[in-house]
Amino acid sequence: MPAIDPDRLRKQVAGFAGAIGDPAELRRRALDILEFYADRTRRPGPSTHVDDVSPAFGVARPVMKSLTQALRRAAAGKPERGLAAAEALWQTGYREARLLAAALVGDQFGEPVMKWVESHARMTDDNIVLAELAGQSTAGWRVAEPRGFVDQLARWLDSSRRGTQQLAYLAMTSAVEDPRFHQLPRLFGLIAGRAGSVRGETRKALYRLLRALARRSPPETTHFLIAEVAGGDPAAIRMARNVIDSLPHDDAGRLRLTIPGGPRVR
């Protein structure tokens, strides 16, 4: 990757953002910049990790930050233009371009955004991109319409697609980590009794959500886990064992007393 010259980067970014009204030109400029700043020392080896499935340029964070900020400014107040630009960037197939698309969508809100997020989540097996869709892309809707956001989460959780369920858990985690979000009781209600229905990456996403809840609201999370364990579902007991270390000492002690055999190592 070439050294970052601030003046050159500023000009490149300005030209890129200036093409916001022309999706094809925006896509071309995005690929030119990403290729220019690509990390050519990267030599990806054989891997079975889901995170490795998207082709990526390995562009440095400062470049991505500059591109993201300029793009969001250019699309401010123009939702239709923003979604068209996001679609053009997404269709490149490259991780960095899809991350830019996800960030751009995050400044929009309303039902079209949530439909866009859901449909595009089905198009990727890249966990990094999926996490950005769940977090950044839903941020505007989450702040503007928190109740509608939670209603959408409920629909995603009830989907027959495990990827859509995973999207819901990831979106919940981002919401919990946002101090402006205050719908936690509804989230606990949505995930009650679901421990036995999750597998693989979806189960990991549920556990990450509960760890975030444990950090944000330890007493409520403890109460929730105790109730889940009391139901006797082995999956709920396994879930409690996975989350207990994220709770403060006293709350963890209360939960520990309810777990049959104690919180064995997972």
Query: Tell me: the pLDDT tens digits for 130-143?
Result: 999 999 999 988 99
Query: Tell me: the pLDDT tens digits for 1-53?
Result: 678 899 999 999 999 999 999 999 999 999 999 999 998 776 444 344 444 46
Q: Which of 118, 165, 163 is nearest to 138 (CA)?
A: 118
Please state, as a whole number, how many other Cβ atoms lie within 10 Å of the Cβ of residue 6. 9
Q: What is the pLDDT of residue 53?
A: 61
Greatest Cα pair distance in the chain:
63
Q: In order along the chain (266 residues), what is the average pLDDT of each group of 10 residues?
A: 88 96 96 93 49 80 96 86 92 97 87 90 93 93 92 95 95 97 97 96 97 98 98 96 97 95 56
Kindly give the interhelix angle for 6-18 and 23-36, rounded to the nearest 10 degrees. 160
To the nearest 10°, the Cα dihedral for 183, 189, 192, 198? -60
pTM score, whole prediction? 0.87
Dist. CA 20–CA 240, nearest whole Å: 47
Counting beta carbons within 10 angstroms of the beta carbon of residue 73, is it exposed (0 to 12), middle (13 to 18) or buried (19 or more)? exposed
Query: How many contiguous H segments (helices) and E segments (strands) does the chain have?
Result: 15, 0
Write the secondary structure of 151-173 as one string of H (helix), E (strand) and C (coil). HHHHHHHCCCCHHHHHHHHHHHH
For the chain, what is the mean pLDDT? Answer: 91
DSSP helix/strand/coil, 145: coil
Q: What is the pLDDT of residue 51?
A: 45
